[in-house]
Chain A
């Protein structure tokens, strides 16, 4: 197991190297960074001086090695806008994003598991039909629309929660629900179909032949078997919830990593863009690794 984790971490380093190359090139593709840093009426000589000061006139490869060397030491350069180290700014946003993502995931799982199990248990009943239709709808509705709908209902009409912003638990509910509705809509049909498959297995009949009650069969014998694919989907959801909630964070003015990334893109604040993408990549890799390790805990047949 330790060997496997070491191997996976080694692979992660390679992936992150590729990520650094991509985010480095991205900025170069995006155009001349000095264009935004100097006043519009700056002379060509001033621009040239700026480029030389920033080392932008050097060969691309040298620039990349320079970027990489600094990145390894955690230095992604300063934000043009705030004139502070970009990584510190991004790290400040991180807990806020984690809070939203964690709450959203919790909501999603708390909704999806009982609904998925019940709609499998009562497959093709009116209840199942409603749950399945709603989860198709949940997957089909774009985030910004769900978000606005929730604001309209719960904040404007019924005044139960604030429209936007952050700070209290009440602020957390609507953005978390927006993200959770989409995640749960992915997880519910998966749990439903896994449970339906598992309930046909011979070992479920064995459990019945031992006199195990239907409740325990469903919740223990079957559910654990239905869980492995769910872990995969949840792991794939995590990066999307932490850094990828760009639109939801923007709608609700939630000061997380996603909103920060959108602002940085709009401001062409490239160091921040780079560090945000880098951090989302790290989260993605980490979530995948954790998922693979969780499989091991659930299923003894999976050994690395």
Chain B
């Protein structure tokens, strides 16, 4: 399959008063054309920062370093601000978590939608309006003419997220970065939005980088999955492989702490401890303080990412080499 986006050794740093925090640490991944890559992890594991680093939306004071962020072969990591600005909304667009606050309250939906069209593909007021109406119909919004004249506060959360999807899709970008697009919505709306995204993705042949902490959503929509922990990629697999056989102890912990329909009563298993803060990263493997399988090696040496087959990678001393892990359960 063709790679649309290839990120090589991405590192992102946040400046603090006495140095800098290493928020994203040596992250490499790719997104194939027409593929939905899910990035999973707990809050604060660096998934959003990874996404914002790719699209160039982090505050200027943050430092993004990489050995290349290749988008259709060109290294957008080295693009200037204005080159990136022309990419955004046209080649790469983004959908955010909070539909309630992500639209400007003082401008009509029409203004906010048509602004995106005008910026990248202006073909006159009437044509732009036609395009806006068409995309609103595509995201299954009834009465699109009325919606164009509405202000965000007049729409429900689900409607606003549809509008956000419309804004992201209107210029037919090759890649959409969706940062927890359904987290703020209730479950029934969430299912509708997910179905809509999958459907439109196929129709427009768009790739999606889908950031979520919800494994249920991952199982539903993803083709491949990247599991992140404490700023690092810990596991990468196709969605089938990941759910059939999670290899990294962290992935296993995440799976175990998900409610299953066939589950007996009692306490839900959890992963003990909390994600380490960026300022106090443990030595060795970043997961070792919480890992049930941690050995002396894990405490002293940081594991490298190992490839296990063509589409599977894992960052663990215990996987596919030194020692085998017991099956999850």
Residues of A within 8 A of B (CB): 201-203, 205-213, 221, 224-225, 298-301
Contact = CB atoms under 8 A, between A and B. Distances in A.
A210 B119 contact: yes
B105 A299 contact: yes
24 contacts: A203-B102, A205-B57, A205-B102, A206-B102, A207-B104, A208-B85, A209-B57, A209-B88, A209-B94, A210-B89, A210-B93, A210-B116, A210-B119, A210-B167, A211-B85, A211-B87, A211-B120, A212-B85, A213-B85, A221-B107, A225-B104, A225-B106, A298-B106, A299-B106
A201 B151 contact: no
A93 B3 CA distance: 77
A117 B107 CA distance: 20
Given A208-B57, A212-B119, A224-B106, 5 more contacts: A203-B103, A205-B57, A210-B119, A211-B120, A225-B106
Residue with the greatest number of chain B CB neighbours at <10 A, chosen from A209, A212, A301: A209
Contact of B115 (A205, A210, A300): A210
Instruction: Kindly list the 3 A-B residue pairs having the minimum CB-CB distance in the complex, ordered from nearest.
Output: A211-B89, A210-B89, A300-B151
Given A202-B98, A212-B115, A213-B85, A300 B57 contact: no
Nearest to B117: A210
Tell me what chain A mostly uses at the interface: helix, strand, loop, or mixed.
helix
Contacts of A207: 104
A213 B98 CA distance: 22
A217 to B, nearest CB: 10
A298 B153 CA distance: 14
Contacts of A210: 88-89, 93, 115-116, 119, 167
Nearest to A204: B104
B123 to A, nearest CB: 16
B295 interface: no
Nearest to B97: A202
Contacts of A201: 101
Contacts of A213: 85
Contact of B105 (A205, A211, A212, A225): A225
Nearest to B87: A211
Interface residue SS majority, chain B: mixed
Contacts of A205: 57, 96, 102
Interface string B80-118: 000001111110011010100111111100000001100
Contacts of B101: 201-203
Interface string B169-204: 000000000000000000000000000000000000
Contacts of B85: 208, 211-213
Interface of B: 55, 57, 85-90, 93-94, 96, 98, 101-107, 115-116, 119-120, 151, 153-154, 164, 167-168
Contacts of B57: 205, 208-209
Nearest to B103: A203
Nearest to A298: B106
A209 B106 contact: no
A265 B238 CA distance: 87
Contact of B153 (A206, A208, A221, A300): A300
B105 A203 contact: yes
Contacts of B93: 209-210
B55 A209 contact: yes
Residue from the set B87, B106, B120, B154 with the largest chain A CB neighbour count within 10 Å: B106
Contacts of B98: 202
B176 to A, nearest CB: 10
A203 B104 CA distance: 5
Contacts of B102: 202-203, 205-206
A206 B88 contact: no
B104 A211 contact: no
A206 B96 contact: yes
A208 B106 contact: no
Given A207-B104, A209-B55, A211-B90, A202 B96 contact: yes
A89 B167 CA distance: 60
B89 A209 contact: yes
Contacts of B119: 210-212
Contacts of A298: 106
Contacts of A209: 55, 57, 88-89, 93-94, 96, 168
A6 B238 CA distance: 66
Contacts of B120: 211
B298 to A, nearest CB: 38
A211 to B, nearest CB: 4
A195 to B, nearest CB: 14
A201 B90 CA distance: 22
Contacts of A224: 106-107
Nearest to B55: A209
Contacts of B86: 211
Contacts of A301: 105, 151, 153
B174 to A, nearest CB: 14
Contacts of A208: 57, 85, 88
